[in-house]
């Protein structure tokens, strides 16, 4: 691509990382579905190409595109969002090291930090980012990484990455931020001082609920370390997944804009309804982090949640009455999905434990898709009528 001022994010989504232009080349980078490549004889000292190493052309193109979208030196595609969280941590942490992590984390990340790494002699202190000074007061001599997720699941809290970033910078340690719910369109994490930006590409980056992948973006040095771990542990993406993800990224910006406007519209509709006790959406003035979200984000995202006054029965009635939105876990695809955390992410907690987290029965999470907003609104009306009959 031509040098000069940084291009817009939609342009980067279409063009960044593309192979060199020459007459006869395909407009769309071809799928190179090959595990291995010629090389490895005598005088040839060039890098060996092998798909587990992450240097298949499709993997490399996506890595360059992600780095361009995030504004980082480098990025790496991995086989899942969890691989993209685990590999940077494994590359930075040794037996005896300590991690400070937000307590608002994706379930498998909580298990990784709270159970799996401790089995390997790496301890985590969980902090509440709502409390001033939580990061610096949890610091120990052996603290080697800070971990934050923003926006959070399922209450869409927004915590300021610049606060742990200042602590990480001073200590010269990694700040890993899982920004899956924001996508690079709504939040530019590297600009906020994040040194390891992570996404589950399964969600908005892929955008069509048809692939599993993850990405890490950061410095050349960080990504080299992550790649070394990927070579050893092996969570390397298949070339077809990389190709599909590249296709998804071409429409990332316009999809996310549509998710943003649809979700804002539905959040406002729900907030005005008597069946609804509270709506969690950072784009609403009533959200506790609205001012911070407005400062940090260029859009408020496609995820929203709300609580029906009628409790679990009302939520069940709501979900069964919908004709467009589908009940399924996961998020970030073009289709609207609905889930009840008491049956998914928070299944193994008691109602009291969920209540303490702000997730009473009657809590519904929506991943708002890119359908026509009038049709989605009509669908929610169907759900609300059904909920009103129960509650
Ligand atoms: C889905 C998700 C993950 C895990 O991603 P996979 O691609 O399923 O491994 C991690 N963090 C967040 C916030 C997620 O939503």
Q: Which residues on neighbouring strands pair with residue 218, listed in sequence order?
A: 74, 196
Q: Distance between CA 381 and CA 378 in Å, rounded? A: 5
**DSSP per-residue codes, 169-182:** HHHT-EEEEE-TTT
Nearest atom within ligand 1 for CA of residue 332: 15
Task: Give residue 290's pLDDT.
Answer: 98
Nearest atom within ligand 1 for CA of residue 82: 9
User: Which of 83, 88, 104, 106, when mutated, tests ligand 1's pocket best, judged by the most ligand atoms within 8 Å of its CB?
Assistant: 106
Nearest CA to ligand 1 atom 2: 200
Task: Give residue 98's pLDDT.
Answer: 98
Buried b (16+ CB within 10 A) or exposed e, 269-283: bbbebebbebbbbbb
Nearest atom within ligand 1 for CA of residue 149: 13
* CA-wise closest residue to 359 among 348, 375, 374, 370: 348
Nearest 10 degrees: Cα torsion 48, 51, 54, 55: 50
Chain centroid to Cα 79, Å, comes to 14
Q: How far is CA 152 from CA 32, 104, 180, 236, 328, in A?
A: 36, 6, 9, 27, 19
Task: Give residue 43's pLDDT.
Answer: 75
Ligand 1 cavity residues, CB under 6 Å: 80-82, 106, 149, 153, 178, 180, 200, 202-203, 212, 214
Helix (H), strand (E) counts: the chain: 15, 12
pTM for the whole structure: 0.96
Task: Give residue 41's pLDDT.
Answer: 83
Q: Distance between CA 312 and CA 164 in Å, rounded? A: 37
Q: Which residues are catalytically annotated?
A: 52, 106, 178, 203
- Per-residue pLDDT for the chain (391 aa), expressed as one digit of tens each? 445 668 999 999 999 999 999 999 999 999 999 999 998 887 777 889 999 999 999 999 999 999 999 999 999 999 999 999 999 999 999 999 999 999 999 999 999 999 999 999 999 999 999 999 999 999 999 999 999 999 999 999 999 999 999 999 999 999 999 999 999 999 999 999 999 999 999 999 999 999 999 999 999 999 999 999 999 999 999 999 999 999 999 999 999 999 999 999 999 999 999 999 999 999 999 999 999 999 999 999 999 999 999 999 999 999 999 999 999 999 999 999 999 999 988 888 899 989 988 899 999 999 999 999 999 999 999 999 999 999 6
Task: Give residue 1's pLDDT.
Answer: 45
């Amino acid at each position: 691509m031509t040098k000069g001022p940084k291009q817009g994010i939609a342009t980067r989504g279409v063009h960044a990382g593309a192979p060199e232009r020459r007459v006869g080349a395909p407009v769309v980078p071809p799928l190179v579905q090959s595990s291995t490549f010629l090389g490895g004889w005598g005088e040839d000292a060039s890098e060996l190409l092998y798909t587990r190493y992450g240097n298949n052309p499709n993997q490399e193109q996506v890595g360059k595109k992600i780095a361009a979208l995030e504004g980082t030196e480098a990025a790496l595609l991995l086989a899942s969002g969890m691989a993209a969280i685990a590999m940077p941590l494994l590359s930075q942490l040794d037996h005896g090291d300590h991690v400070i992590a937000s307590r608002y984390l994706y379930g498998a990340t909580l298990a990784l930090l709270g159970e799996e790494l401790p089995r390997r002699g790496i301890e985590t202190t969980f902090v509440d980012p709502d409390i001033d000074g939580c990061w610096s007061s949890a610091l120990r001599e052996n603290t080697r990484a800070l971990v934050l997720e923003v926006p959070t699941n399922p209450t869409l809290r927004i915590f300021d990455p610049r606060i742990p970033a200042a602590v990480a910078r001073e200590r010269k340690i990694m700040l890993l931020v899982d920004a899956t719910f924001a996508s690079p369109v709504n939040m530019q994490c590297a600009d906020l001082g994040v040194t390891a930006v992570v996404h589950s590409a399964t969600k908005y980056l892929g955008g069509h609920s048809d692939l599993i992948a993850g990405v890490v973006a950061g410095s050349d040095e960080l990504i080299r370390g992550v790649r070394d771990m990927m070579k050893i542990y092996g969570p390397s993406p298949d070339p077809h997944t990389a190709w599909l993800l590249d296709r998804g990224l071409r429409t990332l910006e316009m999809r996310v804009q549509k998710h943003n406007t649809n979700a804002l519209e539905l959040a406002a509709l729900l907030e005005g309804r008597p069946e609804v006790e509270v709506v969690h959406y950072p784009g609403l003035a009533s959200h506790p982090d609205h001012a911070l979200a407005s400062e940090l984000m260029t859009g408020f995202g496609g995820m929203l949640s709300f609580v029906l006054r009628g409790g679990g029965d009302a939520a069940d009635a709501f979900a069964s009455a919908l004709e467009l939105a589908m009940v399924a876990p996961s998020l970030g695809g073009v289709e609207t999905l609905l889930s009840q955390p008491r049956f998914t992410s928070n299944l193994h907690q008691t109602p009291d434990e969920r209540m303490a987290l702000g997730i009473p029965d009657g809590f519904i999470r929506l991943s708002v898709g890119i359908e026509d907003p009038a049709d989605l609104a009509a669908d929610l009306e169907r759900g609300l009528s059904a909920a009103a009959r129960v509650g």
